[in-house]
Amino acid sequence: MSLAEAKARARTAAFARRKAAHAAGGATAAAAHLARALAPHHGRCLAGYLPIRTEIDPRPVMAGWSGEVCVPVVAGPGQPLAFRRWVPGGGLVAGAFGVMIPEADVPAVPDVLIVPLAAFDGAGYRLGYGGGFYDRTLAALRPVRPIFAVGFAYAAQEAADLPREATDAPLDAIVTEAGIRRFDRAATGENTP
């Protein structure tokens, strides 16, 4: 089985687990843990996301943030994400893949990212939707400034073993309704501030 096939199979299984977890609830507890995980970063520019389908919703934390908040915008295939400033209740329009984005094109550069995902593993790696957008974005941002990237998911989205490739960017933490997991990248030699 090719790496692409293994990722597609893992993604399908993860979406089924996420759908069941979403129906069972737990988003309120997860949001409380997310707020705690991000508290040391208040005042910095936060990139959240506007959830689609059964993604866990970070908007309660985004709405209470003390600094600038932005959301991702797909700039094009093979490119890192761009970001637009977001305000609760602000006008939205449909962007790429039907994802809603702020109508006002006010660019922002995040220091802290809440990252959606299909699945994650115990080492802090994520399986996304297959476009590589967050991997390219983290690869572009991390050499330039200190970045804190936290995956936000339901605990059921954890997988024992995810297929990985060299360009997959690790996360600094994973937050679920079960709590916060932090990963010490310096101890493992991985390049993450």
Neighbouring residues of 100: CB distance < 8 A, sequence distance ≥ 6 = 50, 92, 93, 94
Neighbouring residues of 124: CB distance < 8 A, sequence distance ≥ 6 = 151, 170, 171, 172, 173, 174, 181, 183
**Does residue 193 form part of some domain?**
no
Residue 97: name the closest of 114, 117, 65, 75 by CA. 75
Identify the domain containing residue 121 by its residue range. 3-186
**Does residue 176 form part of some domain?**
yes
**Does residue 180 form part of some domain?**
yes
Looking at residue 24, which CATH number applies to its domain?
3.40.50.10420
- pLDDT (tens, 9 = 90+) of the chain, 193 residues, equals 899 899 999 999 999 999 999 999 889 999 999 999 999 999 999 999 999 999 999 999 999 999 999 999 998 889 999 999 999 999 999 988 888 999 999 999 999 999 999 999 999 999 999 889 999 999 999 999 999 999 999 999 999 989 999 999 999 999 999 999 999 754 444 443 3
**Does residue 118 form part of some domain?**
yes
Quick check: 151 and 92 in contact, CB under 8 A?
no
Angstrom distance (rounded) from CA 80 to CA 56: 23
Number of compact structural domains in the chain: 1
Angstrom distance (rounded) from CA 154 to CA 129: 16
Strands 46-47 and 92-94, by their bridges, are unpaired
- The pTM of this model reads 0.92
**Does residue 59 form part of some domain?**
yes
Rounded (to 5) percent helix, strand, coil in the chain? 30, 20, 50
**Does residue 82 form part of some domain?**
yes
**Does residue 191 form part of some domain?**
no
**Does residue 192 form part of some domain?**
no
Quick check: 158 and 168 in contact, CB under 8 A?
no
Residue 102 DSSP SS3: strand
- State whether the Cα torsion 175-83-138-143 is positive or negative: negative
pLDDT of residue 185: 58
